[in-house]
Amino acid sequence: MTGGAALAGPDGAPRCPWALSAEDYIAYHDQEWGRPVHGDDALFERLSLEAFQSGLSWITILRRRPGFRTAFAGFRIAAVAEFTDDDRERLLADTGIIRNRAKVDATLANARLLAGWAPGDLDALIWSHAPDRAGRPAPRTLADVPAVTPESTALSRALKKQGLRFVGPTTAYALMQACGLVDDHLKDCVARRP
Protein backbone atom coordinates (compact mmCIF):
# COMPACT_ATOMS: atom_id res chain seq x y z
CA MET A 1 0.00 0.00 0.00
CA THR A 2 1.09 3.52 -0.62
CA GLY A 3 -0.55 6.75 0.34
CA GLY A 4 -1.13 9.27 3.01
CA ALA A 5 -2.71 9.83 6.33
CA ALA A 6 -6.34 9.53 7.33
CA LEU A 7 -8.76 11.66 5.32
CA ALA A 8 -12.13 13.17 6.23
CA GLY A 9 -15.05 11.06 5.10
CA PRO A 10 -18.50 12.30 4.05
CA ASP A 11 -19.41 12.78 7.73
CA GLY A 12 -16.15 14.65 8.43
CA ALA A 13 -14.65 11.80 10.49
CA PRO A 14 -11.09 10.78 9.55
CA ARG A 15 -10.75 7.37 7.91
CA CYS A 16 -8.14 5.28 6.15
CA PRO A 17 -7.95 6.71 2.60
CA TRP A 18 -8.78 3.37 0.92
CA ALA A 19 -12.16 3.38 2.68
CA LEU A 20 -13.19 6.53 0.83
CA SER A 21 -12.59 5.21 -2.68
CA ALA A 22 -16.09 3.69 -2.93
CA GLU A 23 -19.29 3.97 -0.90
CA ASP A 24 -19.33 0.21 -0.28
CA TYR A 25 -16.04 0.50 1.55
CA ILE A 26 -17.15 2.92 4.27
CA ALA A 27 -19.50 0.51 6.07
CA TYR A 28 -17.06 -2.38 5.63
CA HIS A 29 -14.19 -0.24 6.95
CA ASP A 30 -16.14 1.16 9.88
CA GLN A 31 -18.01 -1.97 10.99
CA GLU A 32 -15.99 -5.01 9.91
CA TRP A 33 -12.38 -4.54 8.83
CA GLY A 34 -10.03 -4.95 11.77
CA ARG A 35 -12.75 -6.19 14.14
CA PRO A 36 -12.09 -9.56 15.80
CA VAL A 37 -13.72 -12.48 14.02
CA HIS A 38 -14.00 -15.87 15.72
CA GLY A 39 -15.62 -19.16 14.80
CA ASP A 40 -14.49 -21.72 12.27
CA ASP A 41 -17.23 -21.01 9.70
CA ALA A 42 -16.74 -17.23 9.93
CA LEU A 43 -12.98 -17.61 9.52
CA PHE A 44 -13.44 -20.09 6.67
CA GLU A 45 -15.56 -17.47 4.89
CA ARG A 46 -12.91 -14.77 5.36
CA LEU A 47 -10.11 -17.12 4.33
CA SER A 48 -12.03 -18.16 1.22
CA LEU A 49 -12.91 -14.59 0.24
CA GLU A 50 -9.31 -13.44 0.71
CA ALA A 51 -8.22 -16.27 -1.58
CA PHE A 52 -10.79 -15.24 -4.19
CA GLN A 53 -9.53 -11.66 -3.89
CA SER A 54 -5.99 -12.64 -4.81
CA GLY A 55 -5.09 -10.63 -7.92
CA LEU A 56 -8.32 -8.61 -7.78
CA SER A 57 -9.60 -5.53 -6.00
CA TRP A 58 -11.31 -6.15 -2.66
CA ILE A 59 -14.29 -4.08 -3.82
CA THR A 60 -14.98 -6.76 -6.44
CA ILE A 61 -15.26 -9.38 -3.69
CA LEU A 62 -17.17 -7.13 -1.32
CA ARG A 63 -19.81 -6.38 -3.94
CA ARG A 64 -20.18 -10.09 -4.74
CA ARG A 65 -20.13 -11.28 -1.14
CA PRO A 66 -23.91 -11.93 -1.05
CA GLY A 67 -23.53 -14.10 -4.15
CA PHE A 68 -20.59 -15.94 -2.61
CA ARG A 69 -22.57 -16.59 0.57
CA THR A 70 -25.47 -18.00 -1.40
CA ALA A 71 -23.28 -20.08 -3.70
CA PHE A 72 -21.19 -21.51 -0.85
CA ALA A 73 -24.02 -22.33 1.59
CA GLY A 74 -23.16 -19.47 3.92
CA PHE A 75 -19.60 -20.82 4.10
CA ARG A 76 -20.69 -23.49 6.56
CA ILE A 77 -17.73 -25.84 6.44
CA ALA A 78 -19.80 -29.00 6.87
CA ALA A 79 -22.13 -28.03 4.02
CA VAL A 80 -19.38 -26.99 1.59
CA ALA A 81 -17.44 -30.17 2.37
CA GLU A 82 -20.41 -32.13 0.99
CA PHE A 83 -20.46 -30.29 -2.36
CA THR A 84 -20.41 -32.65 -5.33
CA ASP A 85 -18.98 -32.40 -8.84
CA ASP A 86 -22.37 -30.99 -9.89
CA ASP A 87 -21.99 -28.27 -7.24
CA ARG A 88 -18.52 -27.51 -8.56
CA GLU A 89 -19.91 -27.08 -12.08
CA ARG A 90 -22.69 -24.89 -10.68
CA LEU A 91 -20.09 -22.67 -9.00
CA LEU A 92 -18.03 -22.40 -12.16
CA ALA A 93 -21.13 -21.18 -14.02
CA ASP A 94 -22.33 -18.78 -11.30
CA THR A 95 -21.99 -15.17 -12.47
CA GLY A 96 -22.58 -13.95 -8.91
CA ILE A 97 -19.10 -15.07 -7.83
CA ILE A 98 -15.57 -15.12 -9.24
CA ARG A 99 -15.53 -18.18 -11.48
CA ASN A 100 -11.86 -19.03 -11.12
CA ARG A 101 -11.41 -22.80 -11.30
CA ALA A 102 -8.32 -22.92 -9.07
CA LYS A 103 -9.96 -20.77 -6.38
CA VAL A 104 -13.22 -22.73 -6.46
CA ASP A 105 -11.30 -26.01 -6.22
CA ALA A 106 -9.19 -24.67 -3.35
CA THR A 107 -12.29 -23.56 -1.43
CA LEU A 108 -13.90 -26.99 -1.84
CA ALA A 109 -10.69 -28.81 -0.89
CA ASN A 110 -10.20 -26.56 2.14
CA ALA A 111 -13.76 -27.23 3.33
CA ARG A 112 -13.28 -30.99 2.99
CA LEU A 113 -10.06 -30.80 4.95
CA LEU A 114 -11.49 -28.54 7.66
CA ALA A 115 -14.56 -30.75 8.07
CA GLY A 116 -12.24 -33.31 9.65
CA TRP A 117 -10.88 -30.87 12.23
CA ALA A 118 -12.27 -30.59 15.74
CA PRO A 119 -14.56 -27.59 16.35
CA GLY A 120 -12.47 -24.53 17.19
CA ASP A 121 -9.25 -25.84 15.65
CA LEU A 122 -9.23 -23.36 12.75
CA ASP A 123 -10.00 -20.48 15.09
CA ALA A 124 -7.24 -21.57 17.47
CA LEU A 125 -4.68 -22.02 14.70
CA ILE A 126 -5.35 -18.63 13.11
CA TRP A 127 -5.52 -16.68 16.38
CA SER A 128 -2.33 -18.33 17.69
CA HIS A 129 -0.52 -16.16 15.11
CA ALA A 130 -1.87 -12.82 16.31
CA PRO A 131 1.06 -10.54 17.13
CA ASP A 132 1.32 -8.67 20.41
CA ARG A 133 -0.54 -5.39 19.89
CA ALA A 134 1.76 -3.64 22.32
CA GLY A 135 4.70 -4.21 20.01
CA ARG A 136 2.99 -2.68 16.96
CA PRO A 137 2.80 1.09 16.70
CA ALA A 138 -0.29 2.44 14.98
CA PRO A 139 0.44 3.17 11.32
CA ARG A 140 0.36 6.89 10.53
CA THR A 141 0.02 6.49 6.76
CA LEU A 142 -0.81 3.69 4.36
CA ALA A 143 2.89 3.50 3.57
CA ASP A 144 3.38 2.21 7.14
CA VAL A 145 1.06 -0.77 6.54
CA PRO A 146 2.93 -3.90 5.41
CA ALA A 147 1.68 -6.46 2.90
CA VAL A 148 3.47 -9.34 4.64
CA THR A 149 4.81 -9.79 8.16
CA PRO A 150 6.75 -12.54 9.95
CA GLU A 151 3.47 -13.53 11.63
CA SER A 152 1.58 -13.78 8.33
CA THR A 153 4.41 -15.83 6.86
CA ALA A 154 4.26 -18.15 9.87
CA LEU A 155 0.45 -18.39 9.59
CA SER A 156 0.73 -19.17 5.89
CA ARG A 157 3.24 -21.93 6.61
CA ALA A 158 1.06 -23.39 9.36
CA LEU A 159 -2.04 -23.42 7.15
CA LYS A 160 -0.13 -24.96 4.23
CA LYS A 161 1.41 -27.56 6.53
CA GLN A 162 -2.13 -28.62 7.45
CA GLY A 163 -2.95 -28.95 3.73
CA LEU A 164 -4.90 -25.74 3.11
CA ARG A 165 -4.60 -24.09 -0.30
CA PHE A 166 -4.44 -20.48 -1.55
CA VAL A 167 -3.05 -19.27 1.76
CA GLY A 168 0.17 -17.44 0.87
CA PRO A 169 1.74 -14.87 3.22
CA THR A 170 0.02 -11.89 1.57
CA THR A 171 -3.38 -13.60 1.72
CA ALA A 172 -2.65 -14.58 5.33
CA TYR A 173 -1.86 -10.96 6.22
CA ALA A 174 -5.02 -9.69 4.52
CA LEU A 175 -6.92 -12.26 6.61
CA MET A 176 -5.17 -11.02 9.76
CA GLN A 177 -6.19 -7.45 8.93
CA ALA A 178 -9.78 -8.32 8.04
CA CYS A 179 -10.31 -10.51 11.11
CA GLY A 180 -8.77 -8.19 13.70
CA LEU A 181 -5.60 -10.11 14.48
CA VAL A 182 -3.92 -6.82 13.69
CA ASP A 183 -5.39 -3.33 13.73
CA ASP A 184 -4.08 -1.53 10.66
CA HIS A 185 -6.53 1.35 10.86
CA LEU A 186 -4.38 4.47 10.71
CA LYS A 187 -3.53 6.25 13.94
CA ASP A 188 -6.04 9.05 13.36
CA CYS A 189 -8.77 6.84 11.86
CA VAL A 190 -12.17 6.94 13.56
CA ALA A 191 -12.39 3.13 13.38
CA ARG A 192 -9.11 2.44 15.19
CA ARG A 193 -9.60 0.53 18.42
CA PRO A 194 -8.18 2.16 21.56
Alpha-carbon gap, residue 1 to 133, rounded angstroms: 21
Alpha-carbon gap, residue 166 to 82, rounded angstroms: 20
Rounded to the nearest angstrom, the gap between the alpha carbon of residue 8 and the centroid of all alpha carbons in its chain is 25
Q: Calculate mean pLDDT across residues 18-36.
A: 93
pTM (2 d.p.): 0.94
Active site residue 32: no
Active site residue 23: no
Q: Which of 33, 58, 127, 173 is catalytic?
A: 58
Active site residue 28: yes
Q: Which of 50, 127, 151, 173 is catalytic?
A: 50
Mean pLDDT of the chain: 95
pLDDT bin (cut points 50, 70, 90) of residue 133 is confident
Instruction: Look at residues 23, 183, 2 and name the one whose alpha carbon lies nearest to residue 11.
Output: 23
What pLDDT is stored for residue 72 in this prediction? 98
